[in-house]
């Protein structure tokens, strides 16, 4: 318990992002999916980090500097907070991919995704989410390599340093691999635990603008990384990061500015077929989940 409290005090920004992720994931996908995804993603990330430290796969060879042993939790030579970060990074990336892929419905500032089970498990959402997670790392990892210049501290070094501001290309390939695995785990858990049709435990379908919470977390993580790069005097890395994200911003603006992005009555009905517990959306539109009721009756 002492080490856990010390870890939180030493890495408060990690646990702020973690707390936001837990709230957003539970509200949108339920308690069971969130808990299992957190545990399984941590296990995958830890195994990959342990493997990279010992044999260079999948991120490339790097070494942790154990200067904070006794001040924070370490698991078999890997800092606890490092592997924990993969949980909220992969989740936030998945929500961005889902937002850009699904029809949207809006009333004022309250934006909803009209997703379906088919869309939630679509390969394009899976592959886009993995790519978006790598894009975050292209800001976060060069910042982490320079941990001695901010409150992270110097905790690791690549052997040898790579061409992207000290980060090897193998690291980004490894992140894509881990992102693809963890997002696939989330899609599987969501389908396995929540497809019965009932409201997931802990979910809050009526929460306003909840479709934007996950992408907001993603933007917050990217923004934190960029601000810290400017603060430590690494403006060239920060500007490189900004240019990395400009195409994603342009894509998002292009999608939401098209009439096809905003779902019609048919899109609402398809959504309510798969998620009949979202009664608040039915009240918005005056479109009761008729087909969902017929399907349940037939079952």
pLDDT (tens, 9 = 90+) of the chain, 299 residues, equals 888 999 999 999 999 999 999 999 999 999 999 999 999 999 999 999 999 999 999 999 999 998 888 899 999 999 999 999 999 999 999 999 999 999 998 888 888 899 999 999 999 999 999 999 999 999 999 999 999 999 999 999 999 999 999 999 999 999 999 999 999 999 999 999 999 878 999 999 989 999 999 999 999 999 999 999 999 999 999 999 999 999 999 999 998 888 778 888 888 888 989 998 887 665 565 555 444 434 434 33
State the pLDDT at residue 280: 67
Residues 44, 36: contact at Cβ < 8 Å? Answer: no
Which segments of 11-122 does DSSP mark as H helices, in order? 12-29, 31-55, 80-101, 117-120
Query: What number of CA atoms fall less than 13 Å from residue 137's CA on the CB side?
Result: 29
Structure tokens at 109: 């500032």
* Count of residues making up the chain: 299
For 94-103, b/e burial (b = at least 16 CB within 10 A) is bbbbbbbbbb
- CA dist 69 and 65 (Å) reads 9
pTM: predicted TM-score of the whole model, two decimal places: 0.92
What is the signed CA dihedral for 211, 204, 199, 286, rounded to 10 degrees? -70
Q: Which of 183, 186, 211 is closest to 28 using CA atoms?
A: 211
């Amino acid at each position: 318990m002492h080490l856990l409290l010390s870890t939180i005090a030493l890495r408060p920004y990690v646990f702020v992002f973690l707390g936001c992720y837990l709230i957003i994931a539970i509200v949108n996908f339920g308690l069971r999916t969130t808990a299992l995804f957190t545990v399984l993603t941590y296990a995958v990330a830890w195994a990959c980090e342990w493997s990279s430290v010992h044999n260079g796969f999948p991120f490339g060879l790097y070494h942790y500097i154990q200067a904070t042993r006794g001040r924070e939790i370490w698991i078999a030579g890997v800092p606890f907070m490092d592997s924990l970060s993969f949980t909220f990074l992969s989740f936030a990336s998945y929500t961005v991919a889902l937002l850009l892929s699904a029809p949207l419905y809006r009333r004022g500032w309250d934006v909803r995704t009209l997703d379906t089970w088919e869309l939630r498990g679509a390969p394009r959402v899976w592959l886009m989410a993995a790519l978006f997670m790598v894009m975050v790392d292209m800001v976060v990892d060069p910042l982490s390599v320079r941990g001695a210049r901010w409150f992270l501290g110097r905790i690791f070094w690549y052997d040898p340093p790579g061409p992207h501001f000290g980060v090897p290309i193998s690291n980004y390939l490894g992140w894509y691999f881990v992102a693809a695995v963890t997002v696939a785990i989330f899609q599987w858990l969501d389908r396995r635990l929540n497809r019965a049709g009932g409201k997931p435990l802990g979910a809050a379908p009526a929460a306003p603008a909840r479709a934007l919470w996950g992408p907001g977390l993603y933007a917050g993580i990217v923004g934190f990384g960029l601000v810290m790069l400017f603060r430590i005097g690494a403006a060239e890395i920060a500007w490189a990061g900004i240019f990395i994200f400009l195409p994603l911003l342009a894509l998002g603006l292009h999608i939401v500015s098209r009439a096809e992005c905003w779902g019609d009555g048919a899109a609402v009905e398809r959504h309510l077929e798969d998620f009949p517990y979202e009664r608040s959306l039915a009240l918005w539109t005056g479109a009761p989940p008729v087909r969902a009721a017929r399907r349940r009756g037939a079952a």
